[in-house]
């Protein structure tokens, strides 16, 4: 991969010709994640707020570890950048890229970054729903929200994008529109996303199972699950289950398996009550 650089006019003016790689390495910002090969932080420039994700070389060991389990390693910010450009064409709101760069040929030592506009006045669905057991949402609002999540998920998959970290905290809702009763969702954190011409079934199951896993701690009923299926499929429930009943059983098993792993690791609230057939 050859070196690539894009800087939007607003950031170019704020950075005044500085090398983006060097400039981003010196910004302190509000750090949200700092692991060995990736740093995510929020910063302000020219009166606007942004999120930056800076990738350093992952090393051959990490690449080989992923390849040995048939997993495509994430070595730079290219997939996230491509997904952020593609998804709005399919009606999926995402943060707009303001800058993007890659340098280095070797996937093990390649450096890259992506800077996106901050989605101001948004809240994650995990935060929105965290008190639902104590203060249940209005039934009409919950139905509307479930259908909105199903629709944005279907649009993402129709675009050929697999999120691979598809949890409720990566779905944001516009708080200003929420005040008027409207639900507008946006999708974030696409650094592990895969872009495919056709998504294999197993990857759809992984995405949908991950989403279900996060919902199992919430007061979500079987009827709510079926409402999601109907909205995701975009057709009457009876038709959807007749055509893809086994698929949705796989999604259910995947979500329950992830939940049980979460129980063993103490990562869940342990509120899920298994139903008949959950094993």
**Which residues form the catalytic set?**
165
Among 40, 5, 36, CA closest to 20: 5
Per the CB < 8 A criterion, the answer to whether 100 and 6 are in contact is yes
Give the residue from 152, 158, 92 showing the smallest Cα distance to 119: 92
Nearest-angstrom CA–CA distance, 170 and 262: 18
The CA distance from 220 to 261, in Å, is: 20
């Amino acid at each position: 991969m050859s070196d690539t650089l894009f800087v939007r006019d607003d950031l170019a003016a704020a950075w005044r010709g500085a090398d983006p790689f060097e400039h981003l390495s010196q910004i302190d910002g509000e750090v949200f994640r700092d692991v060995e090969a990736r740093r995510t932080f929020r910063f302000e420039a020219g009166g606007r707020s942004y999120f930056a994700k800076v990738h350093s070389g992952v090393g051959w060991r990490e690449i080989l570890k992923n390849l040995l389990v048939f997993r495509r390693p994430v070595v730079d910010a290219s997939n996230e950048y491509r997904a952020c450009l593609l998804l709005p064409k399919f009606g999926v709101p995402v943060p707009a890229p303001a800058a993007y760069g890659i340098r280095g040929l070797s996937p093990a030592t390649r450096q890259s970054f992506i800077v996106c506009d901050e989605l101001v006045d948004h809240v994650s669905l995990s935060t929105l729903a965290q008190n639902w057991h104590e203060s249940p949402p209005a039934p009409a609002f919950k139905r509307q929200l479930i259908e909105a999540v199903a629709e944005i998920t279907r649009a993402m998959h129709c675009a050929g994008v697999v999120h691979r970290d598809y949890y409720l905290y990566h779905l944001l809702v516009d708080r200003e529109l929420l005040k008027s009763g409207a639900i507008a969702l946006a999708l974030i954190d696409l650094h592990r996303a895969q872009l495919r011409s056709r998504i294999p079934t197993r990857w759809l199951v992984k995405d949908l199972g991950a989403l279900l896993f996060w919902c199992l701690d919430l007061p979500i009923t079987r009827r709510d699950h079926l409402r999601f299926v109907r909205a995701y499929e975009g057709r009457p429930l009876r038709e959807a289950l007749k055509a893809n009943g086994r698929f949705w059983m796989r999604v259910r098993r995947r979500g329950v398996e992830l939940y049980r792993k979460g129980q063993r690791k103490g990562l869940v609230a342990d509120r899920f009550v298994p139903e008949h057939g959950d094993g």
